[in-house]
């Protein structure tokens, strides 16, 4: 465990630039980087999207596809990597709902992720949708999903060193802890 391992949560709406931001930060990593994808390839459209995202990632990155068990996957990657980009918590919540997991189990999974972040075993960049600023979902399942994702995002944001909100491709810092030298290969920011 190293003091340079920190975490960043990148939130944003659909097509806000959050994944591109995560990739850009990941490319600055000073060491081996992994990409943890939570999206299952359920149809042709999603397979095409996954292929496009794979092509956008640097060739040297390790890619792991894990729709349910984020923390165990990150633990396995921690010994050989300095950074894991997790894209995205939105689909992780959706996957678990479709699997039949209850709200309490999903929130407990978010709490486990927050505890893992506090261990600082590896640097993490996590991507999630901000769904709380849109219209009220018209269906019960939509409402449940938005409430649950909001709870997950709050738990992860509380544990993260940095939280960035992406709006129209522009990063807005919501929470910021000073970054030590070596985090993502960037020098410390000036005060």
Catalytic residues: 53
CB-count exposure of residue 44 (10 Å: 0-12, 13-18, 19+): exposed
Nearest-Å Rg of the Cα atoms of the chain is 16
Residue 62 exposure: Cα atoms within 13 Å on the Cβ side: 17
Sheet holding 62-65, edge to edge: 62-65, 33-37, 83-87, 123-129, 7-12, 162-167, 170-175
Bridge partners of 86, per DSSP, are 36, 126
Q: Please, what is the Cα angle at 121 between 116 and 124, to 5 degrees?
A: 70
């Amino acid at each position: 465990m190293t003091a340079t391992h920190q975490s960043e949560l990148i939130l944003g709406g659909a097509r806000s630039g959050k994944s591109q931001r995560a990739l850009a930060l990941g490319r600055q990593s000073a060491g081996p980087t992994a990409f943890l994808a939570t999206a299952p390839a359920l149809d042709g459209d999603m397979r095409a999207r996954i292929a496009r995202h794979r092509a956008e990632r640097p060739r040297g990155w390790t890619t792991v596809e894990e729709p349910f068990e984020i923390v165990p996957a990150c633990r396995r990657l921690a010994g050989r990597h300095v950074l894991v980009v997790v894209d995205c918590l939105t689909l992780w919540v959706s996957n678990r709902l479709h699997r039949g997991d209850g709200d309490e189990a999903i929130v407990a999974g978010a709490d486990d992720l927050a505890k893992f972040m506090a261990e600082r075993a590896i640097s993490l960049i996590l991507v999630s949708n901000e769904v709380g600023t849109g219209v009220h979902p018209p269906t019960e399942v939509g409402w449940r999903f938005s409430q649950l994702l909001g709870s997950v995002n709050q738990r992860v944001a509380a544990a993260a060193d940095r939280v960035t909100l992406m709006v129209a491709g522009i990063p807005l810092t919501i929470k910021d802890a000073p970054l030590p030298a070596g985090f993502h290969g960037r020098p410390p920011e000036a005060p």
